[in-house]
Amino acid sequence: MKKLLSVLVAACALTVSLAACDKLPGKQKESFQNTDVTGLDYAKGFTLTDHTGKPRTLADFKGKAVVVFFGYTQCPDVCPTTMAEMATVMQKLGPLADQVQVLFITLDPERDTQELLANYVPAFDKRFLGLRGTPEQTAKTAKEFKVFYSKVPGTDPGSYTIDHTAGSYVFDRDGRLRLFIRHGQGPDPIVHDLRALLS
């Protein structure tokens, strides 16, 4: 119930934001199948470290369409299904997939070490990158992207789970926020929209 409530709150906030977005002057309507968030004034970037130990910012990926998903490696459902879905998207894109960068930002830096991310993230597709920061950097990045996350205690201190926003953000080649992908739609709408962004 708590997870459902948080998802509903996030969806309502996004709907309000989109109503304002539609009124932007000069905004062109494109035939996206996911939620067009062009012009919204958040998710401007991050400063984190990738699973090879290299410092990364959003600007590093300019020239590519970038898909950003927040999760954690011990997530039992949403995270692995999202990553598997994005792997299918890359397959369906064919050669165009080399112009797409998928980023997995961990919300669990305490357990998701660089080594663990290096094993987990590229297992879905070798081009995918895992990103992590300190707990403070993680909180700052999640706030910038308006991503909700909250620890849910387990039977012992190390067995907690994390409730979190399940969607993904998509940026165009110029690093502009363009789309919000709702979880569980399947790969085809994502393939369609990435082709549109890259054309």
Please indicate if the annotation marks 51 as binding a ligand: no
Burial (Cβ within 10 Å: 0-12, 13-18, ≥19) of residue 194? buried
Report how far apart, in Å, the C-alpha atoms of 158 and of each of 51, 74, 108, 142 are.
22, 11, 11, 22
Cα 64 to Cα 160: distance, rounded to the nearest angstrom: 35
- Contact of 17 with 40, CB cutoff 8 Å: yes
CA distance 173 to 100: 9
The response to whether 21 counts as a known ligand-binding position is no
Pairing label, strands 65-71, 161-164: unpaired
Q: How far is CA 35 from the centre of its chain?
A: 14
Radius of gyration of the chain (CA): 16
- In this structure, what are the phi and psi dihedrals at residue 117, rounded to the nearest 5 degrees? -65, -35
**Numbered residues of the known binding site for Cu cation:** 75, 79, 164
**Numbered residues of the known binding site:** 75, 79, 164
